[in-house]
Structure 1
Amino acid sequence: MARPTPELIEALRRTAIKLKNGAPYQWGHMGGCNCGNLAQELTKLNRDQIHQYAMQRYGDWNEQVEDYCSTSQMPIDIVINEMLNAGLMLEDLKHLEKLDDRQVLARFPLEARYLKHNVRDDVVAYMNAWAELLKEQLLEKITLPNFQSMVYA
């Protein structure tokens, strides 16, 4: 599961809002699919740039992740590396493309867990649920000092 970072949480939320408000979405387009839309937020590249980078190598996001090399300097690997730097893991990209991470899906009522990977509204719901899960994980790591135990002069 992704490392919960404020940058990643906000990128998921912004992506969900943009998709909900009609941002271009096309599951078969490497820059306009589930991962492609999140990549736009994390890298500030546009959908066509991401798609062009991905087409320099074969395959969908799943195959791109399988072939990822952090030192290759292939443009799509640089995109993936930026996404990883924001807190994502390679497996997260696979799950996002299929909307199938069990921890995220567990946040939905049982009857609503069967999301379709290429339906905009399902992608929006998944990203919002994932952002909320990561926010909760981040907040669990924060500890505040016990001010009651401090002695003030």
Structure 2
Amino acid sequence: MTSRISLPLIQALRNTARRLATEAPYQWGHMGSCNCGHLAQTITHLTKAEIHARALQRYGDWERQLVDYCPTSGLPFDQTIDEMLALGFSRQDLTNLEKLGDPAVRQAIPFERRNALRHNQRDDVVLYLRTWADLLEQRLLAAVPLATAQELVPA
């Protein structure tokens, strides 16, 4: 799962899920309005058309583009990926998002829903994003040291 957990990363997942659940057009076959495309919109503030146009400058879907990604290429789509990685996502995270394939996220989804997940269904993507954000939030909270009762008593 995610390399660097942070509040902005978790918020990006939650904002993407909220936008997808309420208003945003969803089209899995479109590089700017698929699973990763929506997350890219949230992070980069680019439109779906801008993301799609950047992606068309090189061959392949998100998975292929992530394999071919080069931080020094200067290609606009690689710059889009740069922004996503800078927030803390890994290339594997993004590959998993496109197919809803992260084992830890899937494991946290109730069995009946988990086995029926489809990577190209809006409601399933929203569930996956929310579950992923919940898991990361739990990990972040678990890493925060809590004061003991003795530390709270004034000397």
Q: Return the offset for 1:146.
A: 2.8
Report how far residue 150 of structure 1 moved.
6.1
Aligned in 2, Cα 1:99/1:145: closer, same or farther, shift over 3 Å? same
Provide the C-alpha distance between the structure 1 equivalents of 2:81 and 2:44, rounded to a whole number of angstroms: 9
User: Which amino acid in structure 1 is aligned with residue 104 of structure 2?
Assistant: Q
Which runs of 5 or more structure 1 residues have no equivalent in the other structure? Answer: none
Q: Offset at 1:105?
A: 0.4
1:123 counterpart (119, 122, 125): 125
SS at match of 1:116: coil
* Matches of 1:101 and 1:142, distance apart in 2: 24
Aligned to 2:137: 135
Residue 15 of structure 1 aligns with which residue? Answer: 16
Q: In proportion to residue count, which structure has more helix?
A: 2
- CA offsets, 1:108-139, max 9 Å, x none? 12121131000000000000000000101111
2:118 maps to amino acid: K
Instruction: Call closer, same or farther: CA 1:151–1:125 in 2, change over 3 Å.
Output: closer
Q: What pairs up with 1:36-75 in 2 under 5 angstroms?
A: 36-75=37-76
Kindly report structure 1 stretches of 4+ aligned residues shifted beyond 4 Å: none
Using the size of structure 2 for normalisation, the TM-score is 0.94
What's the offset of the Cα at 1:73? 1.4
Residue type matched to 1:141 in 2?
A
The alignment of Structure 1 onto Structure 2 pairs a total of residues equal to: 153
* Counterpart Cα distance in 1 of 2:64 and 2:141: 34
Q: Which residue of 2 aligns with 1:109?
A: 110
TM-superposition CA deviations, 1:16-64 (whole Å, max 9, x none) = 1111112011000000000000000011111111100000001000000
Which residue type is aligned with residue 81 of structure 2?
I
Q: Distance in 2 between matches of 1:150 and 1:19?
A: 43
Return the alpha-carbon distance in structure 2 between the equivalents of residues 138 and 150 of structure 1. Answer: 22
Residue identity (%) = 52
Aligned counterpart, 1:98: 99
CA drift of 1:151 comes to 6.2
Unaligned regions of 5+ residues in structure 2, if any? Answer: none
Judging changes above 3 Å, is the alpha-carbon distance between structure 1 residues 152 and 102 closer, same or farther for their aligned structure 2 residues? same
